[in-house]
Structure 1
Amino acid sequence: MKIIASVAVKTHIISGFLGAGKTTLLQHLLKQKPEHETWAILMNEFGQIGIDQQLLPRDQGYEIKELLGGCLCCASQLPMQIALSRLIQEQKPDRLFIESTGLGHPAQLLEQLTEPHWRSQVDMRALVTVIDGSRLHDKAWISQDLYQDQLKAAQIVVVSHAQAMSEVDQRVLNDLKDEHFTHIQNWLMAEQGNIQLEQMDVAHQGMQRKIVPLIQVQKQFSENALLPEIKQLPYHYVEFSNGYTVAGWKFSKRWQFNFYDLLDVLCEQQDWLRIKAILNTDQGWMTFNFNPEQLNYKSGIENIDNRVEVITQQERDWESFEAALLSCRIDSVEKAQ
């Protein structure tokens, strides 16, 4: 389906876990609409009865479309594509808000809307995830995979119920900021959804990720050869986001490393912002979480693979690092491959 729009519509995805405060934020944002503009809202509720739609304004200048049942980001794309296309075609909005269900995976929705055939119609803004600041102390709540997925997809986080946060909530928030500093551009503290639109009206910046063979394997290819697509371990990857570089390696869980040699290699590194790793060593599985202030490591549970990530803003000799890392390996190649 090809649709021609004269001007790409500024489009905001608002995600967040159940009860985080997405609709409250949206209500506040809609109050900021200039009189001469038309704004559109595409809402997605998991159930078959629309509730949140009834809470939004019915005044002239607002167009609301609701998709019920299922998740528009992980169910069939066709209903969402049709609904969005019609909304843009028929209403020609100046700005569009998409509120996904609290059970949705916003990264999948963002991936759909940044595909080439949408670019002439949709001007994606930074993806917003709303979290309830007063529930950050609840480890079981925030450790859920979906909650973490929504945070990982965010470029802006709105912290609702900020006035009700405890000291523990604030400490957890600081830890989250530290954990996600490479991709989340801003953390906005909100009381009753009180956020100004200009704080969110930031262009989406896509993450570039390249998965390639280990650097030592890459040397077997000619200089101009295309590197093969990697679908199995081991591999090396590089991500670029917001001025940061994340270089990572994944190896089979059967590969084992000498713990003390490994610790020496990691401690000897320079010009980094964060080193994170989960590795199978002769001292058992170990997790490493290094920042410039603290070099933390501890015993961990068995992981599905060995992995190392180094975050930096500097150019690095990744080949030397990989060689030093692999020199710590103590299992036989024959057994591990």
Structure 2
Amino acid sequence: MKLIAPQKAVPTHIISGFLGAGKTTLLKQLLSQKPEHEVWAVLMNEFGQIGVDQQLLPQQQGYQVKELLGGCLCCSSQLPMQIALSRLLSEAKPDRLFIEPTGLGHPAQLLEQLTEPHWHTHLSMRALVTVVDGSRLHDQAWTQQNLYADQLKAAQIIVVSHADQMQAADEQALIQLQQEYQAYAQKWLKAEQGHLALTEMDIPYVGTQRKIQPLLKLQQKVSSTNLQESAEIKQLPYHYVETAQGYAVAGWKLPKRWQFDFYPLLDLLCEQQDWLRIKGIFYTNQGWKSFNFNPQQFNYQSTDEGIDNRLEIIYQSERDWEKFEAELLAYRVDAAAVLD
């Protein structure tokens, strides 16, 4: 695939958000701010085979809109997305580009693709935006879905849509949500009826400092040289640490087939000290369970089947997680545990 380099790297915005959050409404409002002499382009992705959103965007001169239909450009093969994006850049030669992935997408994966070295001379990535529906923040069944959380974590800017429709419960939920994600040092903006100045979003993308490594017990088994060569991994299981603005997040992602003894697991989480937030989802011998702890309240409940076991602990002071991980893994009860 041959890329035709533009005169300069194109400022590129990813506008993500869960289903019905108001992404397209925000995008329309941002497009209305286009200077007359510029050409702006939009790459949209719809999960289904019939495109609707494209028809809602400006069709007049100065805009180029292209849709990718069927599947998710974040998760599926990169080739269709790269071909579509390359053609859009070479044919439209835009001064600014917006990418709107499907509401079922994982924007962090898309951002990872677009920040690869071969795109550096073509795209100037701006802060990733996630739109959340402010009028639905009180609905925990909506906000506690794994995909919803993944989209929030990926964001550098979070835009709260339908701000004029928020009730007292939504305002309180927004405060709690901001506290929960304070470790990610995000910028929060309210948009009433989709109105937001592009200048508030037109800031460079800054990558989160994330160190992904094998599980701590596996790191002990290899030499420092070998570990350095194999530390950056993506396959499960793995351990990671993210840092931002004086906060840190210690996380674990473990295979879906791993099953844990619920009550010892619950005790382990409750016994932890000096943390700001604990969130997790685990496959246990009592079924799938979600955990959502803050210093004032320990919540856990049955939940839908997850795609993996996962846990995140937000903290400030330095900690040695080896003992914690050893206890966590000791509570596996699946048949394969004795072989690992």
Q: State the TM bucket, normalised to the shorter chain.
A: 0.7 to 0.9
Instruction: Output aligned runs, 1:90-239, within 5 Å.
Output: 90-183=91-184, 185-226=186-227, 228=230, 231-233=235-237, 235-239=238-242
Change (3 A) 1:16 1:307: closer
Deviates more, 1:132-141 or 1:191-200: 132-141
Identify if the C-alpha distance between structure 1 residues 183 and 57 changes in structure 2 by more than 3 Å, giving closer, same or farther. Answer: same
Structure 1 window deviating more from structure 2 (197-206 vs 32-41): it is: 32-41
Secondary structure of the residue that 2:73 maps to in structure 1? coil
Deviations 1:241-278 (A, max 9, x none): 56542223467534678579746851xx34x4334456
Letter in 1 for 2:135: S
With over 3 angstroms needed to count, the CA separation of the structure-2 counterparts of 1:330 and 1:261, relative to structure 1, is farther
Whether the 8 Å contact between 1:72 and 1:100 is mirrored in structure 2 is yes
Distance 2:20 2:289 in 1: 36
Q: Tell me the secondary structure at the aligned position of residue 23 of structure 1.
A: helix
Q: Which residues of 2 match residues 1-337 of structure 1 at below 5 A?
A: 1-3=1-3, 4-60=5-61, 62-70=62-70, 71-183=72-184, 185-226=186-227, 228=230, 231-233=235-237, 235-241=238-244, 244-249=247-252, 252-254=258-260, 258=264, 262=268, 265-266=271-272, 269-270=273-274, 272-276=275-279, 289-291=292-294, 293-294=295-296, 296=298, 308-319=311-322, 322=325, 325=327, 336-337=338-339
Structure 1 residues 276-285 or 28-37, which shifts more?
Answer: 276-285
* Range that drifts further, 34-43 or 297-306: 297-306
SS in 2 for 1:226: helix
Alignment partners' CA distance in 2, 1:10 and 1:278: 37
Which letter maps to 1:19?
A: G
* SS across alignment from 1:198: helix
Distance 1:65 1:215 in 2: 47
C-alpha contact 1:254 1:336 (8 A) present in aligned 2? no
Is the CA contact (8 Å cut-off) linking 1:247 and 1:310 kept in structure 2?
yes
Aligned CA distance change for structure 1 residues 336 and 208 (closer, same or farther; 3 Å): farther
Distance 1:232 1:141, change over 3 A: closer
Displacement after TM superposition at 1:108 (Å) = 3.0
**In 2, distance between residues paired with 1:102 and 1:282?**
32
Q: 1:211 to 1:253 in 2, by over 3 A?
A: farther
Aligned to 2:225, what secondary structure does the other structure show?
Answer: coil
Report if aligned partners of 1:257, 1:328 keep a CA contact under 8 Å in 2: no
Cα distance in 1 for partners of 2:145, 2:112 equals 22
Q: Secondary structure at the match of 1:248?
A: strand
Deviation at 1:44, TM superposition (A): 2.9
Q: Secondary structure at the match of 2:227?
A: coil
Task: From the superposition, tell whether residues 262 and 6 of structure 1 become closer, same or farther in structure 2 (CA, over 3 Å).
Answer: same
Q: Distance in 2 between matches of 1:73 and 1:327?
A: 31
- Closer, same or farther: CA 2–322 of 1 in aligned 2, 3 Å: same
CA distance in 2, matches of 1:43, 1:278: 31
Give the direction of change, closer, same or farther, for the CA distance of 1:138–1:245 in structure 2 (3 Å limit): closer
Q: Is this contact kept in 2: 1:278–1:303, CA < 8 A?
A: no
> Structure 2 stretches of 5 or more lacking a match?
none
CA contact (8 A) 1:160 1:189 kept: yes
Q: Which deviations, in whole Å up to 9, do the C-alpha atoms of 1:78-130 show, x marking residues without a partner?
A: 33222211222233222111122334333332222122211211111122122
Distance 1:29 1:277, change over 3 A: closer
TM-score under structure 2 normalisation?
Answer: 0.77
Offset of residue 19 of structure 1: 3.0
TM-score (norm 1): 0.77
CA distance 1:299–1:105, shift in 2 (3 Å): closer
Gaps of 5+ in 1: none
Change (3 A) 1:328 1:128: same
C-alpha distance in structure 2 between counterparts of 1:146 and 1:302, whole Å: 13
Aligned-residue Cα RMSD (Å) equals: 3.9
| In 2, Cα distance between equivalents of 1:48 and 1:286 | 35
CA contact 1:256–1:330 (8 Å) conserved in 2? no
Letter in 2 for 1:245: A
* Shift in CA distance, 330/84, structure 1 to aligned 2, threshold 3 Å: closer
Corresponding residue SS for 2:183: coil
CA gap 1:322/1:168 in 2 versus in 1, 3 angstroms: same
Q: Give the counterpart letter for 2:66 in structure 1.
A: E
Query: Contact (CA 8 Å) 2:239, 2:252: kept in 1 or not?
Result: yes
CA distance in 2, matches of 1:335, 1:51: 48
Provide the secondary structure at the position in 1 that maps to 2:251. strand
How far 1:162 moved relative to its partner?
Answer: 0.9
Deviates more, 1:254-263 or 1:35-44: 254-263
CA-CA distance at 1:9 after TM superposition: 0.8
Amino-acid identity (%): 59
Aligned amino acid, residue 132 of structure 1: D
1:120-152 Cα deviation digits (max 9, x unpaired): 111111221222222333444445554444334
Q: What SS class does the counterpart of residue 182 from structure 2 fall into?
A: coil
Letter in 2 for 1:18: L
Size of the alignment, in residue pairs?
Answer: 330
Contact 2:261 2:285 in 1 (8 A): no
Determine which structure has more spread, i.e. the larger CA radius of gyration. 1
